[in-house]
Amino acid sequence: MNTNTQTMDSSGSASMLLLGLGAVGLAIGLFASGGLLSDGHAAFNTGSNVAWGLPVVAYVYMALASTGLAIVASLAMVFGTKELYPIAKRCLWLAIALLIGAFITLALELGHPFRLLWAVPAGMQTSSPMFWMGVWYAVALLFMAIKFAMVMKRDWSSPGSKAIGGITFAAEIAAAMTLGFVFGAMSMRPFWYDPMMPVFFVLSGLLAGVAFALFFTNLAYGFSQDNMPAAVRRAMTGILPAIFLTAIGVTALFVIGQMVTASYSNVNETHLVASHVYGSAPFQLALWVGLVLPFALMLGGLRKQVGMQVLAAVLVLVGLFTVRYGYIIGGQLVPMFKGTWYPDLIAYTPSATEWGVFIIGASASLLIYAIGDKLFKLPDSPDEQ
């Protein structure tokens, strides 16, 4: 059966809605980040104390979600989990869209983004985790694009196509692990230092990816399983919510583990930050409403229902963003050698410009996804399906 023939009208209206949202978002983002043009990065509330602010959080969030989506696509395209074929192409395109949005966000955060293009390859600083992060994400984006082009030509599973998929999967895993290493290896920032951070980044990235897959697939079919072809419905009521449940559970365990371990520590730089971050209302909401509640919702038969899936996906996506924010900002809150210039944890709130940069990146992702949804027949799957 070729599901290509069963593209629903709702997908078209959804992509138009997303196109509109993306365009409006981009306009809002450009307006909000106007300070970048007049004041440069002085329009950010970052500086020598909190060097990496909201735009870096947004970059990490989107890049890891991209990894998660690539893993979901790879489960079908590389590891032969045929139930996921009907959503694999959409996941792959969404992964590309999110990674480009992540790169845009990061580029607007860097002092000299264009210099990066020659200075990183010319420098070949192989001891830098950030160097490898760039290498792996660049490889991942390139091979995702090649894989998508092959799928567009209906080459889903030739040996060449599978090899490209395999390389993409490996590069995405390496990229997400290296991104975890960028933070987790920083022993001079005890709140960050964690040998398991690379693993956590992959697993929580998978959770974000599955949440995005659930949300956007449901959206593409007008939030109604009646609009879905049988194969899509099978995936959306069977394996995907089951993976979602597992990923929520694993991520929640990691987060609770981090919270307990850091809070228990005798090291001031760890437990004082832990009580500040983990004791905050946004983090507690993220844990209980963003992870535990969705886990409960997905435990039983409710996980097959569109409404519950969408609700759980949205809660998880907001919750995960809060968790990433708490971790990345939290690690920088202890002033380093500032004495009484900064006698307390550093107070940081993102500026409007920083929010604008995030909105630009997210809107760019949305626009790219919507264009693909409109033009590239994302519900496609192999003929043998």
Q: Which amino acid is at 17?
A: L
**Is residue 130 close enough to count as binding another protein by CB under 8 A?**
yes
Give the shortest CB-179-to-another protein separation in angstroms. 12
290 binds another protein (CB under 8 A): no
* Distances from the Cα of 99 to the Cα of 110, 154, 368, angstroms: 16, 23, 11
Nearest to 95 by CA among 55, 62, 66, 58: 66
Q: Does 280 bind another protein (CB under 8 A)?
A: no
Helix (H) or strand (E) holding 69: helix 54-77
How near is the Cβ of 39 to another protein at its closest, in Å? 8
The angle at the Cα of 371, spanning 365 to 372, to the nearest 5 degrees, equals: 90
Helix axes 306-330, 239-264, angle to 10 degrees: 30
Residue 189 interacts with another protein (CB under 8 A)?
Answer: yes
With a CB cutoff of 8 Å and minimum separation 6, the contacts of 3 are 86, 229, 231, 232, 379, 380, 381, 385
Question: How far apart (Å, rounded) are the C-alpha atoms in residues 19 and 41?
Answer: 29
| Radius of gyration, alpha carbons of the chain | 21
Closer to another protein at the Cβ: 134 or 326?
A: 134
Judged by CB under 8 A, the stretch of 79-87, 118-126, 157-165, 223-231 that binds another protein is: 118-126
If one asks whether residue 322 binds another protein (CB under 8 A), the answer comes out as: no
Which residues, 50 to 79, sit near another protein by CB under 8 A?
51-52
Q: Is 281 in the site for another protein (CB under 8 A)?
A: no
Site membership for another protein, residue 339 (CB under 8 A): yes
Q: Provide, rounded to whole angstroms, the least separation between the CB of residue 125 and another protein.
A: 5
What is the closest distance, in whole angstroms, from the C-beta atom of residue 2 to another protein in the complex? 46
- In the complex, the residues that contact another protein under the rule CB under 8 A are 40-48, 51-52, 110-113, 115-116, 119-120, 122-125, 127-131, 134, 182, 186-189, 268-269, 272, 332, 334-341, 343-345
